[in-house]
Structure 1
């Protein structure tokens, strides 16, 4: 059940909103409505994964409580490892096995592994949670709070990637407080804006570029005009598709009185690749920055080390998008572009200092 389907927009969402606002004055009741609705939403994709989603979420919560009780770093570190192994098995097992088999000259028959919907997003949220615990953040006390933080259906399958300290404190806020009508009006506006982006623009552009890419995939040569049409229409499609989903998620969250971080800030108006990544999928960019690039050393150890850190960060960011060497290559190219951008900035700064 996708955000753009009639069953979601005319059935699931209105019913959930009605139940939520009927019991909005009772914290536990409204949380149970949201958690129950979120698990039902996930179950529409594949109900067999709902128990696993709940079990892994509660396991991560339990590891946080163990950290609070003992102060031993093994608990959040164990949480990070468990989440990485889970993501690695479901998303990358076949990719790595196939790569090793290819290098060794073996034949690998792909394992029948079903990729859980949204696993890349909610796994990163749990990894960020444990990393924040290691940095001194307070663990979530309530299991219900943690379940709502991880499974909240507007951001469950396509982000934004939310940190626990951004949303868990909001669970105490009365959704029928003074911001009720502002949240409802802004939420409805963002929901409709995102829907228009996705259905009206992205899906229309897909009808233009997808046939051209299909022709190229089957060996047909595209002429110059077709190549440009395919490239430009896909460039716009991917933005309107992803930012549309993000706008819908943020808008729906407001309908429930919750504020999610914005994910896009007109990225195609960026004047450099560095600025582009500060505007595109911003919650992923900050995750890669805070939990990978900076821990690797960031820009603290000279230009060569900074470039290596950028390459590693963006290569792993590419792999997060998909299990394939093309995604790794895409990430490496962005790492190269960012390295050149930083080098150019340093050179321009030095030249400016030398001018009279």
Structure 2
């Protein structure tokens, strides 16, 4: 009887540890592949008509700069449509001042970027019916971002040529030189650049990142945009992959923005991202993975696996806990297989982080500073605990620093 109980406990501990080790191994594979930059995708002709969709909630202070950058990359048959979404400031007026078309949405119940995007696409559809022609490509930009030269025609051309969404590189920069801000920037480089490049080198789709996204018109029309989910971009990407149009990563053009500088803004921003990702991970991830595996869709399954990689801080913390638990169990029972597996996961994560720092953030964060990363992990514990006891489910705008 005792042997049976021990075997069951051993099996449960091994399975739980494996659920943490697999994401760490996937992360390591992605980072190793990302160490070498792939050649850029072949250039494609510029679409005849591009519609740029900018959802904006109370962005009156900064939306003009984004619109002016956008207009500088557009032609006479293109358009910029700003969706002033549940605004109580002068976002709509500021957007009109610099030449954007504006449509205003007021819906206190259906809040979130996904609903604003769906509203904008439905408005473009109405305009297409009235004007007799539709855009070839719809490109989504946040209202507070900076574009690299040629970004819009580059991703729009690829989207039209490949018939699938295209995601430009998207990075966020630390507003202050403090270690916490630089660690957050490093984590963003790993998630948005290194892992996307790794997936690209495997011939696999990437996650959608919320801005710098281009959709062929037919894909935009049928895309399940209307969502109030906190991680609506990640959710949209895996759903489009499921429906046969997986996103394609285009690294050679870049859109950037800046993390919130205030403590309140940073905490709100981080909570929204982390809770959104975790709710997808535990809510939709297992079902989507099973569905992809059952249908034999390897690319879709790998994209879901990428989504199932927890945030770095959480993954590191869970692996440490698992290793300590396995070590105690090994001392009590002499069974070491689980401990060996946990140590493999820790080693994979450490190698991945050190390699990513060397390749993507050597100028940003020193090796010695990485030793202080556990403090960053501990600082994020309240966010993860609040996911369990008081999960954020409604979209809240990040407080800007102006």
TM, length-normalised to structure 1: 0.30
Between Structure 1 and Structure 2, the one with more strand by share is 2
TM, length-normalised to structure 2: 0.28
Q: Considering Cα pairs closer than 8 Å and 6+ residues apart, tell me whether 1 or 2 has the greater RCO.
A: 2
